[in-house]
């Protein structure tokens, strides 16, 4: 009887692991190979994943990545100085003097990125040993120039070790 119960338990655990890997791979495929802006398909997958395995740590990482990507917007800007960025120099054809620089930058939608931070914070609280979650959050805090929280997260990470 014990062998029978152990066998069923092992089967259930292996099947749930396979589902988790399947969702992770499917999400990576949606983000990497297909149209990266297909947020409808990504959201539908995340909803199915959440229903099937709400305690999968990879689900929190996927939600975080979904909302961070959703919050990012590429913007073209015209500036008076190059500001150390790679930029297209625009010159006055009559005087051949530089009049402006055209460059790209990334802006972040606060509402979407805050949703992402909520998911990764939940993941970090449930799985505090997952350094990838912590470092992913730190990276994005640096990208959005939130240096106060960036520093706090580094200190929290160091103190948890």
Residue-level pLDDT at 13: 38
pLDDT tens digit sequence for 65-88: 999 999 999 889 888 888 777 889
State pTM to two decimals.
Answer: 0.76
Residue-level pLDDT at 35: 58
3-state secondary structure labels for all residues of 77-137:
EEECCCCCCCCEEEECCCCCCEEEEEEEEEEECHHHHHHHHHHHHHHHHHCCCCHHHHHHH
pLDDT tens digit sequence for 10-48: 434 334 444 446 898 888 888 886 556 688 999 999 999
* Token pair belonging to 121: 């914070």
- Mention every residue, 6+ apart, whose C-beta is less than 8 A from residue 87: 79, 101, 102, 103
């Amino acid at each position: 009887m014990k062998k029978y119960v152990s066998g069923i338990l092992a089967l259930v655990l292996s099947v749930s692991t396979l589902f988790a890997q399947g969702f992770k791979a499917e999400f990576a495929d949606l983000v990497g190979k297909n149209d990266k802006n297909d947020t409808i398909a990504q959201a539908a997958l995340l909803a199915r994943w959440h229903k099937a395995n709400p305690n999968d740590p990879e689900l929190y990482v996927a939600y975080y990545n979904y909302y961070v990507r959703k919050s990012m917007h590429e913007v073209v800007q015209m500036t008076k100085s190059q500001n150390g960025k790679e930029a297209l120099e625009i010159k006055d054809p009559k005087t051949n003097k530089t009049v402006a620089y055209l460059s790209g930058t990334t802006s972040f939608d606060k509402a979407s990125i805050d949703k992402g931070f909520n998911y990764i914070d939940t993941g970090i609280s449930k799985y505090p040993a997952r350094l990838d979650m912590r470092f992913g959050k730190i990276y994005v805090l640096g990208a959005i120039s939130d240096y106060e929280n960036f520093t706090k997260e580094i200190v929290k990470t160091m103190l948890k070790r």
